[in-house]
Amino acid sequence: MLRARLTLVASAALVGCSLPGQRADFASRDPAERTLAVARAAETTDPESLPALIRLLESDDPAERMLALRALEKRTGQTLGYDHCDSEPRRAEAVRRWVAWQRATNPGAAPTSSGSTGR
């Protein structure tokens, strides 16, 4: 599963396209559509995608958390101590740092949750 997802992200990032009928959507129930949204967000400077990437750090899926972190790191140059493999309490603490960072750097952006995404 992880290999397939990483392949999808690499393909989308390298060629800038998606599978027919597939869309990039952070809120989709389809993991491939969320992954495509992360890949596109990694390649943009649009600050509006940062809150969505931060929310994905709370995903139940470690691969999704890793991809979101790599996109954030590419965009910001930092991880704020977040590790996608840490325990839930340590990840939650790091997510709070990301939320504080986002509020400090872009106070007008959409609010970032501090609860579970349920994925």
pLDDT digits (tens, 9 = 90+) for 49-80: 999 999 999 999 999 999 999 999 999 999 99
Q: What is the pLDDT of residue 15?
A: 40
Q: What was the pLDDT predicted at 107?
A: 72
Work out the mean pLDDT of the chain and round it to a whole number: 82
- Eight-class DSSP state of 110: P
What residues of the chain score a pLDDT lower than 70?
Answer: 1-21, 109-119
| pTM for the predicted model, two decimal places | 0.75
Other beta carbons within 10 Å of 70: 17
User: How much is the pLDDT for 11?
Assistant: 44
CA separation for the pair 57, 98 (Å, rounded) = 9
